[in-house]
Amino acid sequence: MFFDIGVKDIIDVLLVAFLLYYTYKLMKASGSINVFTGILIFILIWLVVSQVLEMKLLGSIFDKLVSVGVVALIILFQDEIRRFLLTLGSHQHASALIRFFTGNKKESMQHDEIMPVVMACISMGKQKVGALIVIEHNFPLDDVVRTGEVINADINQRLIENIFFKNSPLHDGAMVISKGRIKAAGCILPVSHNLDIPKELGLRHRAAMGISQESDAMAIIVSEETGSISVAHKGQFYLRLNAEELESLLTKEN
């Protein structure tokens, strides 16, 4: 009976393993890995008590704790659960399916819209002017836009540089580019608490990583200290980019 394992059982085990691994990645990225480890230990103890040792009284207590704990976990990890659902919804095939049923076309930046962004970043990098530019993809960033000042202007190199000029009132926030237009500036982004982010990277990089983890947007960072250009996308950094690499990355992801 022990070796009576079918294809369905193997798929079941693989799906559970994938779910645990993905949950581990989310917890590690959010700095909650210790809580995740504690939950696994609790589940292991619960299974041993109720299934192996068959302790009825202690097992019933653990059953009640688990039923209440599910609600508590949803409240405790609502950001991680939201990020998981956003990842599913922003996946390439899921987005294509949604566009098929809704009739919406995929919005992408054209080459003449990408180049002003690239040239502005190169110019600001040479002058060591800090900047944070978020390019919206499939997932709408309306909540982020509402935290800043709505501009709704054509993409223009000089406009981008003027917004991030050190004396500009909007230079500290993030710029959001959506549907080929500068939608807003001075926006506030969620900050990532990922402990794996190098300490030499500042708050702009953590904010860029935060929005890349919570959406499918691409965030471009120009460092005020070094002038180097970086990109955060899908929870990953692309550091020290030149003009060609930045253009290629923006073109490929669009």
Contact 24, 33 (CB under 8 A): yes
Look at residue 2 and tell me whether its pLDDT is greater than 70: no
pLDDT for residue 182: 95
* β-pair partners for 178: 181
pLDDT tens for each residue of 34-85: 776 777 787 788 778 777 777 777 777 777 777 776 777 777 666 666 666 6
pTM (whole model) above 0.75:
no
Contact 180, 155 (CB under 8 A): yes
Residue ranges and CATH numbers for the domains of the chain are 7-76 (no CATH), 111-253 (3.40.1700.10)
Contact 91, 80 (CB under 8 A): no
Instruction: Say whether 178 sits in a helix, a strand or coil.
Output: strand
Dihedral over alpha carbons 154, 242, 212, 186 (to 10 degrees): -40
Q: How many residues does the chain have?
A: 254
Tell me the C-alpha distance between 91 and 60, whole Å. Answer: 40
According to the 3-state scheme, what is the secondary structure of 5-21? CCHHHHHHHHHHHHHHH
Give the tokens for residue 166: 């050190």
* β-pair partners for 46: none
